[in-house]
Amino acid sequence: MTATLLKVKGLQVAYGGIQAVKGVDFEVHEGELVSLIGSNGAGKTTTMKAITGTLPIHGGDIEYLGKSIVGQGPWDLVKQGLAMVPEGRGVFTRMTIIENLLMGAYIRTDTAAIQDDIEKVFHTFPRLRERKDQLAGTMSGGEQQMLAMGRALMSRPKVLLLDEPSMGLSPIMVDKIFEVVRDVFAQGVTVLLVEQNASRALAIANRGYVMESGLISMTGPGQDLLNDPKVRAAYLGE
């Protein structure tokens, strides 16, 4: 049986007087690609921020590698192999592409291997190689998303959390981003993907969770959810 890398138990998060997450339970096993889908405002991004220590929780627990990580900061979690590509990308706009990638490896001291990993990122995203000395703030949204994903991979994560990676991108760029998510997963990285594009997210997921109004309303294999009439009606416009 595969190990449970990430386990969220009874998670509650509130801010601004609003209970955004109301008691959520889910888990991610080693070697899985798990998609968390739901409409805007369902609590998906709040859940991701709670997992990565950028929002305090008000109840429940979050376990990573069998231990509670509540109260730990994002920098502590990256050292343990838990990395996130945030909604809105969050690149360092006044740094070059190379400098952004090196920031992703700040916890590492293996200089030669870091250079090898930069080459791997450039192989995955040839456009970044072409513009390696360009300031990140001058790039398009799609290019910044590539850079944010490349930067996260530079930490060599065990679990990669992706928060709305296709948001605001052109259809061609969305295709590229989902292709990369599949490639990263195929290389052995466990992935938790939060997406509003439910059809694309469930199509590549081993398992999926549907989130509504701060609660998990459905769960099952990705293909089963993709074919479920309620999911299709609510999220796929059918």
Q: Note the pLDDT tens digit of each residue in 101-137.
A: 999 999 999 999 999 999 999 999 999 999 999 999 9
Matching residue, tokens 């296709």: 166
> Is residue 125 within 8 Å of residue 168, measured between CB atoms?
no
pLDDT of residue 40: 86
> Is residue 117 within 8 Å of residue 153, measured between CB atoms?
yes
Domains for the chain: give ranges and CATH numbers: 33-41+73-235 (3.40.50.300)
> Is residue 162 within 8 Å of residue 194, measured between CB atoms?
yes
Phi, psi (rounded to 5 degrees) for 152: -65, -40
Distance of CA 80 to the CA centre of its chain: 16
To the nearest 10°, the Cα dihedral for 64, 67, 70, 74? -50
Q: Note the pLDDT tens digit of each residue in 162-221.
A: 999 999 999 999 999 999 999 999 999 999 999 989 999 999 999 999 999 999 999 999
Distance set, CA 209 to CA 27, 28, 52, 108, 199 (Å): 10, 11, 19, 34, 13
Collapsing DSSP to helix, strand or coil, 196 comes out as coil
